[in-house]
Amino acid sequence: MSEKKMTTEEVNQYMKEKCGFVPRMFKIINTVTPDPGRTFADFYASIFSDGALSKAVKELMFMAGGVAYCSPRCIIHVIPAIEAGATSAQVFEAASVGMILAGFVPGGPGIPYAFEYALKCIEIDTNFRAGKEWEYLPQPKFDHGVY
């Protein structure tokens, strides 16, 4: 039995419900085919759902890893962490742990560089909670009409 093919809008909504956000790459991929987006969302939900650790804690862990490795695409996890109930104090502490980790991982970027990412997490948290526009990195220059 085959499943109904989702439209781009349907798979983006499905991803939003399962993941808490639609990763930028899937905003593009989903315009070509929705199957990877749906599959990724199911996988993501299976890892990040409440278990021994809460969804909020798992999202904060991922965000902290993004700070530690200076990954602008990973710090986006501050948003699903907030939506799962993380407080601003928890975002701050998790970002701080990531900042310190950056100085201790082999080949890591170092604390001064990760500090900028920790500040960005706090800025995203502040803006998101205030209903203001936020951005975790500049928009890519990509014409999704050309493959």
Matching CATH number, 51-133, of 1.10.3470, 3.30.2290, 1.20.58, 1.20.1290? 1.20.1290
Distance of CA 136 to the CA centre of its chain: 10
Please state, rounded to an integer, the average pLDDT across all residues of the chain: 90
Residue 1: pLDDT band by 50, 70, 90 thresholds?
A: very low
Instruction: Give the predicted TM-score (pTM) of the model.
Output: 0.84
Q: Does 4 score more than 90 pLDDT?
A: no
Percent of the chain whose pLDDT exceeds 90? 77
Residues 6+ apart with CB under 8 A from 119: 95
- Residue pLDDT, tens place only, 6-46: 999 999 999 999 988 888 889 999 999 999 999 999 999 99
Residue spans per domain, the chain: 1-49, 51-133
- Taking the C-alpha atoms of residue 99 and residue 70, their distance in angstroms, rounded to an integer, is 9
Which is nearest to 75 in space by CA: 84, 91, 64, 85? Answer: 64
Q: Does 104 score more than 60 pLDDT?
A: yes
Q: Are 21 and 48 a contacting pair, CB within 8 Å? A: no
